[in-house]
């Protein structure tokens, strides 16, 4: 853990180390992924089944690629009632927030007599990738599927790897809560290839979302352009701005909730009271003694954790904006006035009783958020990822008379004479 103070001479240089990219340096998997995509495009289901045998030790035929309705029901029914209630509450809150997010169409006739419009249209089909094994989080299924559903996407196809054929009851229960019933037990680059280009069994989609390992991320990069993709997530991060009126243990637990995700995760406390910060750091050490994921959380805190001591909250806001962090907790007396100074954050959590974990599950806003300082220009997942806009212009003779001559003049200036003629020939005919 690093300890910084804004009143120290080397603050800027030490801050820039903290702001540096934490992404793992990965050996390139571009070549094997290219081969997998080519094989799936050429051989369709056969390639999908072959790769699944090889990578997931699971023999499939085109008939068993899809998880049947019976299997989904059988697995989902294994989830206990209390957990099912929690999933349902989460889904209902996520759905409500994303429904509130839905944008309105635009249409108006202006003084020149042109009618201008903009219409939001849901994508026809979306592919949702869900990682297998330990990273198969049911909450991610909700956060990816529900915005698509609310946007009005007609078809949501899910791919989830099932190593050794083992199905994940919670993931299938989450899918059922979201009304997703088209689920294939394939993963990796081969699943992304199937969703992008289609096979006899899996029809192609228009956009692929959801997290995955390095092969999945590279496959999404390679199919991008043919279909849309979401952003490639980096390691997670939180900045917590807290005064000394907070319970140090709560702040420590919030820091550790971030750190337990990943050794590359970053948890940062910004406060104006060094003594309070020391109590938080002690509480972190105490909790690490009993935390199940202490190995991961401890390494994240040691390597990337930080405490920043500021003189005042204006300074804290400026530093939080520099971090442009995925998550920002504001544990101050008047969190809203602090939040008004924030320009860059994926999601903000206001108040002493609003840990980031609220937003991971049951808050309502999406938990798929921009990492690695990309909140400077990027946003969390939303209904906007599953809608596209088309604009319309309607002009009658008078409208064309109002704007056509200027258009023809600009077209000629740009050397585009057919453009100019398409306007001026009509204007001539109208007289």
Binding mask 310-349 for a copy of itself (x = CB under 8 A): -------------------------xx--x--xxxxxxxx
CB closer to a copy of itself out of 17 and 430: 430
Q: How many residues bind a copy of itself (CB under 8 A)?
A: 124
Using CB under 8 A as the binding rule, the residues of this chain from 291 to 310 that contact a copy of itself are 291-293, 297
Among 56, 218, 260, 262, binds a copy of itself (CB under 8 A): 260
Question: Six-digit token pair at 418?
Answer: 């057919």
CB closer to a copy of itself out of 52 and 374: 374
Is 327 a catalytic site residue? yes
CA 386, CA 292: separation in Å to the nearest integer?
A: 37
CA 100, CA 150: separation in Å to the nearest integer?
A: 10
Among 66, 185, 261, 304, binds a copy of itself (CB under 8 A): 261
Chain position carrying tokens 């352009």? 225
Q: Which stretch binds a copy of itself (CB under 8 A): 32-40, 177-185, 246-254, 308-316?
A: 246-254
CB closer to a copy of itself out of 52 and 95: 95
Binding mask 117-146 for a copy of itself (x = CB under 8 A): -x--x-xx---------x--xxx-------
Q: For residue 55, which phi and psi values (nearest 5 degrees)? A: -90, -35
Q: Which stretch binds a copy of itself (CB under 8 A): 6-14, 42-50, 311-319, 422-430?
A: 422-430
Question: Six-digit token pair at 286?
Answer: 């105490």
Q: Which stretch binds a copy of itself (CB under 8 A): 49-57, 159-167, 184-192, 259-267?
A: 259-267
By CB under 8 A, is residue 388 in contact with a copy of itself? yes
Question: Six-digit token pair at 145?
Answer: 């599927």
Residue 360 marked in a binding site: yes
Residue 417 marked in a binding site: no
Among 29, 167, 253, 341, binds a copy of itself (CB under 8 A): 253
Angle at 275 between CA 273 and CA 279, to 5 degrees: 115
Is 326 a catalytic site residue? yes
CA 431, CA 369: separation in Å to the nearest integer?
A: 56
CB closer to a copy of itself out of 65 and 172: 172
- Count how many Cα atoms sit within 13 Å of the Cα of residue 347 in the half-sphere of its side chain: 22
Give the three-class secondary structure for 179.
Answer: coil
What sign results for the dihedral spanned by CA atoms 191, 373, 1, 279?
Answer: negative
CB closer to a copy of itself out of 51 and 197: 197
Provide the H-helix boundaries in 152-293.
169-177, 188-197, 214-223, 248-259, 274-288
Chain position carrying tokens 């429904």? 99
Give the three-class secondary structure for 378.
Answer: coil
SS (H, E, C) 253-314: HHHHHHHCCCCCCEEEEEECCHHHHHHHHHHHHHHHCCCCCHHHHHHHHHHHCEEEECCCHH
Using CB under 8 A as the binding rule, the residues of this chain from 208 to 227 that contact a copy of itself are 225, 227
Residue 226 marked in a binding site: no
Using CB under 8 A as the binding rule, the residues of this chain from 5 to 64 that contact a copy of itself are none
- Annotated catalytic residue within 75, 237, 263, 327: 327
Among 19, 62, 97, 243, binds a copy of itself (CB under 8 A): 97
Among 4, 33, 170, 192, binds a copy of itself (CB under 8 A): 170
Residue 340, Cβ density class (10 Å: 0-12 exposed, 13-18 middle, ≥19 buried): exposed
CA 249, CA 238: separation in Å to the nearest integer?
A: 16
Q: Which stretch binds a copy of itself (CB under 8 A): 50-58, 156-164, 184-192, 377-385?
A: 377-385
Using CB under 8 A as the binding rule, the residues of this chain from 391 to 420 that contact a copy of itself are 391-397, 399-400, 403-411, 413-420
Among 64, 181, 213, 422, binds a copy of itself (CB under 8 A): 422
- Shortest distance in whole angstroms from residue 226 CB to a copy of itself: 8
CA 376, CA 221: separation in Å to the nearest integer?
A: 21
- Helix (H), strand (E) at residue 237: strand 237-242
Catalytic (active-site) positions: 326-327
**Residues annotated in a binding site:** 129, 190, 213, 236, 258, 261, 327, 360, 414, 419
């Amino acid at each position: 853990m690093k300890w910084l103070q804004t009143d120290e001479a080397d603050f800027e240089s030490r801050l820039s180390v903290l702001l540096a990219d934490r992404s793992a340096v990965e050996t390139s998997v571009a070549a094997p992924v290219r081969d997998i995509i080519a094989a799936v495009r050429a051989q369709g289901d056969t390639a999908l089944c072959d790769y699944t045998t090889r990578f997931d030790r699971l023999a499939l035929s085109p008939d068993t690629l899809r998880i049947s309705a019976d299997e989904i029901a059988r697995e989902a029914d294994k989830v206990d009632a209390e957990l099912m209630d929690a999933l349902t509450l989460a889904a209902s809150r996520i759905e409500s927030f994303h429904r509130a997010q839905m944008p309105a169409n635009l249409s108006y006739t202006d003084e020149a007599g042109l009618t201008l419009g903009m219409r939001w249209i849901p994508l026809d089909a979306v592919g949702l990738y869900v990682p297998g094994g330990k990273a198969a989080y049911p909450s991610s299924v909700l956060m990816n599927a529900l915005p698509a559903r609310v946007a009005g996407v007609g078809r949501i196809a899910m791919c989830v790897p099932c190593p050794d054929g083992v199905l994940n009851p919670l993931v299938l229960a989450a899918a059922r809560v979201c009304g997703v019933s088209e689920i294939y037990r394939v993963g990796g680059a081969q699943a992304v290839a199937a969703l992008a280009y289609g096979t006899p069994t899996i029809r192609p989609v228009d956009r692929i979302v959801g997290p995955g390992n390095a092969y999945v991320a590279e496959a999404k990069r390679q199919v991008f352009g043919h279909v849309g993709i979401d952003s490639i997530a980096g390691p997670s991060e939180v900045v917590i701005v807290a005064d000394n009126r907070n319970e140090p243990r709560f702040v420590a637990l919030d820091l550790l909730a971030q750190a337990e995700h990943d050794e590359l995760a970053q948890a940062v406390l910004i406060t104006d009271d060094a003594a309070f910060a020391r109590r938080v750091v002690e509480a972190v050490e105490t909790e690490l003694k009993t935390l199940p994921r202490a190995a991961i959380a401890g390494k994240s805190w040691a390597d990337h954790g930080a405490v920043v001591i500021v003189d005042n909250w204006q300074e804290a806001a400026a530093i939080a904006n520099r971090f442009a962090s995925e998550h920002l907790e504001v544990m101050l007396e008047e969190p809203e006035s602090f939040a008004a100074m924030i320009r860059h954050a994926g999601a903000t959590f206001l108040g002493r009783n609003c840990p980031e974990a609220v937003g991971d599950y049951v808050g309502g806003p999406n938990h798929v958020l921009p990492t690695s300082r990309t909140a400077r220009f990027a946003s969390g997942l939303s209904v906007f990822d599953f809608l596209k806009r088309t604009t319309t212009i309607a002009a009658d003779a008078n409208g064309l008379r109002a704007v056509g001559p200027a258009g023809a003049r600009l077209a000629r200036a740009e050397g585009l004479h057919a453009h100019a003629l398409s306007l001026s020939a009509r204007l001539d005919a109208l007289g």
